[in-house]
Amino acid sequence: MNDTIVAISTALGVGAISIVRLSGKEAIKIVNSCFKGKDLSKVKSHTINYGHIIDKDEIIDEVLVSIMKEPKTYTTEDVVEINCHGGVISTKRILETMLTHGARLAEPGEFTKRAFLNGRIDLVKSEAVMDIIDSKSEEANKIALSQLSGSTSNMIKKFRESLKQLLASIEVNIDYPEYYDIEVVTKEKISKSIEEMKKDLEKVINESKNTTLIKEGIKTVIVGRPNVGKSSILNKLLEQEKAIVTDIAGTTRDIVEGEISLDGILLNIIDTAGIRSTDDIVEKIGVEKSLSMIDAADLVVVVLNNNEELTAEDQEILEKTKAKERIIVINKNDLSKKLDISRYNLKNVVETNANTTDGIKNLKKKIIELFQLETIKTKDYTYLTNARQIALAKKAYQSLTEAEAGINNDLPIDMVEIDLKNTFDFLGEIIGETYSEEILDHLFANFCVGK
């Protein structure tokens, strides 16, 4: 990290302002060498300075340059941000000028990586930065902000502090058994401590299962045979004419997607091709795709036609979706009833039609109820938010379980201590107290350039 990095930190394209950011020991010197205005080496930290970026004698753009000197910066290094006019040409010219004057093009997430390596933020906070950028719903953004504030990191640190105290007590009793004034850590006391930690960690892991749903949304697939009204339901949910609606069976031949926010949670809705036997090659591919989408869905909305008797295709769909979270929508309830599903004992049934919005409102309520969205919204936002964090928490929990088994099987206390140390290390990996370069490279490779 001895070199100075540079990147465009705003979306490249037409806009009012673009920002080119530098970080490193030479950041101020590099910008100063091609800046026409005040001597940037002499200005105060956290000031904005007017001038021009020049290349030899040519003015590239009129700019405002923000000078932020170490250590009170995002990376804890000297950071310079060049605010120029938005647009591809001027922004790229400024970037090229910085590169020719000694800066290196930053890798994805390298600014945040430096903030982590320099100790300004931990690994959980680093991941929260990208989660804020990628947030697709209000709730996902709240979780990311909570992580960035340190609530999740503090929770993990408390777990580790409890383990540290327990391990220290065990070490003292092992190394200095002759000191009677030191509290003797019996296996019963260790077992009780492990039991309490397991209970707390299990709660964290279970509640963190909601984060995938909050961050990614509910993948909702609308299925049914042709012409039962799937596309109409999609359009009413999205409140726009996203899918083509006709009386001709097989109109929808490929998936049609849309998104809505439901109680702050994203609903990713997919309207699929009508499921039926067909000789049409294109429609057949659409049907196969529809069937495959069911397996990947978090929620399946099965649409049946109120004014038609249940068909073999309807029965096939009901059979295929019975193990999934699903809602049965009986559409066209404004027409004469011919559908009889009484023998199936179906749950979560909603009736709709194309002329009113009452059924769609009831459908939304049923989704909220099924996924307990109101409960999720009111819970504490101290979550583990990705597969890496949850996997490590599970490993820590497993090590606690093994330590508990060791106590119950009357193993020597130093053997139990090994499992407790493993738990301590796994929790440390979550916040980045211990890490490998490979993990860091993989993690920050998913960031955008300039962040």
- Whose structure tokens read 């001038």? 51
Q: Which of 49, 25, 29 is nearest to 38 (CA)?
A: 49
User: Which regions of 69-179 does DSSP assign to beta strands (E)?
Assistant: 79-85, 104-105
Give the separation between CA 363 and CA 371, rounded to whole angstroms: 12
* CA dist list (Å): 404 to 186, 378, 401, 407, 418: 13, 34, 5, 5, 12
- For 125-149, the DSSP string reads HHHHHHHHHH--SHHHHHHHHHHHH
Q: How many degrees, rounded to 5, is the angle at CA 29 between CA 26 and CA 35?
A: 140
Cβ neighbours around 42 below 10 Å, total = 8
On whether the CB atoms of residues 333 and 306 are closer than 8 A, the answer is yes
Taking each helix axis as running N to C, give the angle between helix 151-175 and helix 413-431, from 0 to 180 degrees, rounded to the nearest 10: 160
pLDDT, residue 200, reads 92
Q: Where are the alpha helices (DSSP H) in 357-409?
A: 358-370, 373-378, 387-408
Give, for 344, the enclosing helix (H) or strand (E): none
Per-residue pLDDT tens, the chain, 451 aa: give them: 789 999 999 987 778 899 999 999 999 999 999 999 999 999 999 999 999 999 988 999 999 999 999 999 999 999 999 999 988 899 999 999 999 999 999 999 999 999 999 999 999 999 889 888 888 777 788 888 888 888 899 999 999 999 998 888 787 666 555 444 445 567 788 888 999 999 999 988 988 877 777 777 888 888 888 878 888 888 888 876 544 444 434 444 345 677 887 777 788 888 765 554 544 554 555 556 666 678 888 899 988 888 888 888 888 888 888 888 999 989 988 888 888 888 888 889 889 887 888 888 998 899 888 888 776 665 667 778 888 899 999 999 999 999 999 988 988 888 888 999 999 999 999 999 887 787 788 788 888 888 8
Cβ neighbours around 223 below 10 Å, total = 26
On whether the CB atoms of residues 272 and 144 are closer than 8 A, the answer is no
Q: Which of 218, 233, 215 is nearest to 272 (CA)?
A: 233
Give the separation between CA 211 and CA 207, rounded to whole angstroms: 8
Residues 6+ apart with CB under 8 A from 294: 221, 223, 300, 320, 321, 324
Query: What's the order of all strands across the beta sheet hosting 218-223?
Result: 256-262, 265-271, 218-223, 299-305, 326-331, 349-351
pLDDT, residue 240, reads 64
Give the separation between CA 159 and CA 200, rounded to whole angstroms: 9
The dihedrals phi and psi of 83, each to the nearest 5 degrees, come to -95, 110
| pLDDT digit string, tens, across residues 105-119 | 999 999 999 999 999
pLDDT, residue 268, reads 84
pLDDT, residue 272, reads 67
- Whose structure tokens read 């990191």? 153
Give the separation between CA 182 and CA 172, rounded to whole angstroms: 8
Query: Is the backbone peptide bond immediately before 177 cis, with ω within 30 degrees of 0?
Result: no
pLDDT, residue 410, reads 85
* CA dist list (Å): 362 to 7, 221, 258, 332: 49, 17, 19, 15
* CA dist list (Å): 60 to 32, 101, 160, 250, 450: 14, 15, 53, 57, 21
Lookup: tokens for 97: 């000028």
Model confidence pTM above 0.85: no
Q: How many degrees, rounded to 5, is the angle at CA 36 between CA 30 and CA 42?
A: 65
Give the separation between CA 254 and CA 394, rounded to whole angstroms: 39
Q: Is the dihedral of CA 45, 51, 55, 60 positive or negative?
A: positive
On whether the CB atoms of residues 149 and 417 are closer than 8 A, the answer is no
Lookup: tokens for 168: 């220290």
pLDDT, residue 181, reads 47
Coil, strand, or helix at residue 270?
Answer: strand
Q: Which of 401, 392, 415 is nearest to 191 (CA)?
A: 401
On whether the CB atoms of residues 293 and 221 are closer than 8 A, the answer is yes
Q: Rg for the chain (alpha carbons), in Å?
A: 29
